[in-house]
Amino acid sequence: MPELPEVQTIVNELAENLPGSTISSCRILRESIVQGDQTRFRRIVKNKLIQKIERRGKYIIFSLSSDFWIVVHLRMTGKFVLQPNSRQPQKHDRVVFYLSNHQKLIYSDVRCFGTFDLTDDLQECRGLNQLGPDPWSEEVTAARLKKELTNRKIPIKTALLDQKIIAGLGNIYASEILFDAGVNPIIAANSLSERKLSVIIRSMRKILNLALQYNGTSISDYRRVDDKQGTFQNFLKVYGKADQKCLNCSSQIVKITQNQRSTFLCPTCQK
């Protein structure tokens, strides 16, 4: 569900509300989500102060007192909700943190793909420690990308989804970025010129900045912490638009499958 703009929106809202609160206790309603020893997780988290909340790629990192971190990945359908303690439990509540200020922070997840990792060493946290640079990092340059994609015959769309190359892009924004850049998603990553790669980088930053401005894309599940929707879905140009007309050239938008996932493109604008 959530890609970088959605995760960042959630992090902004959590960061506004949570720091300074203490976790009084924690209930785990679906064990598979919390990695490792559940009892240890509950014991360590208890009475810890929430100091800071940050994003890295699509991960949410909660800094707790005593140098512990909770690293959360929302996967497809995870979300956070902040509610008064009195709110009735809902069907898809999976992890609940009861806070010192009479609120509870609920992790809700229909499909239960999401993960919680508790660690005292962020470098050791698998997944997190393999991430490539954030899209705005100065490490992301056409020259570096060109070098990194040598010997990679995978389609450029698939390369954009690889979190080791750039961290944070997902299925919606990969399609939107390549449309904006005028690049066909099936082109082999290693066949793109440095010049084309710099166009893709520019489109990536433009689209992500815009999506951040609109608090992300709410198509089905994604909601903000306050349950409001993002609004970038109103600005999508190809994702989910199969059989509609391209806004630039009126050709039919086409849906194809790459690596078991949908890709949308305009065959005329994206050569």
Stretch that binds DNA, among 14-22, 42-50, 197-205, 216-224 (CB under 7 A): 216-224
2 catalytic residue (yes or no): yes
Residues numbered 21 to 80 that lie near DNA (CB under 7 A) are 32, 57-58, 73, 75-76
Query: Which range touches DNA (CB under 7 A), out of 10-18, 41-49, 81-89, 254-262?
Result: 254-262
> What's the closest the beta carbon of residue 38 comes to DNA, in angstroms?
15
Q: Active-site residue 241, yes or no? A: no
Please identify which of the residues 48, 56, 58, 146 carries the catalytic annotation. Answer: 58
* 3 in active site: yes
Q: Does residue number 113 form part of the binding site for DNA (CB under 7 A)? A: yes
Contact between 228 and DNA (CB under 7 A)? no
Site string for DNA, 157-176 (x = CB under 7 A): -x--x-x------xxx----
Told to judge if 5 belongs to the known catalytic residues of this protein, a careful annotator would answer no
Q: Residue from 8, 108, 215, 218 that binds DNA (CB under 7 A)?
A: 218
**Contacts (Cβ under 8 Å, ≥6 apart) of 186:** 155, 156, 157, 256, 258
Report the site for DNA in 183-212 (rule: CB under 7 A): none
3 lies in the binding site for DNA (CB under 7 A): yes
Indicate which residues carry an active-site annotation: 2-3, 58, 261
Residues that bind DNA (CB under 7 A): 1-3, 6, 32, 57-58, 73, 75-76, 91-92, 110-113, 126-127, 130, 151-154, 158, 161, 163, 170-172, 216-222, 230, 233, 259-262
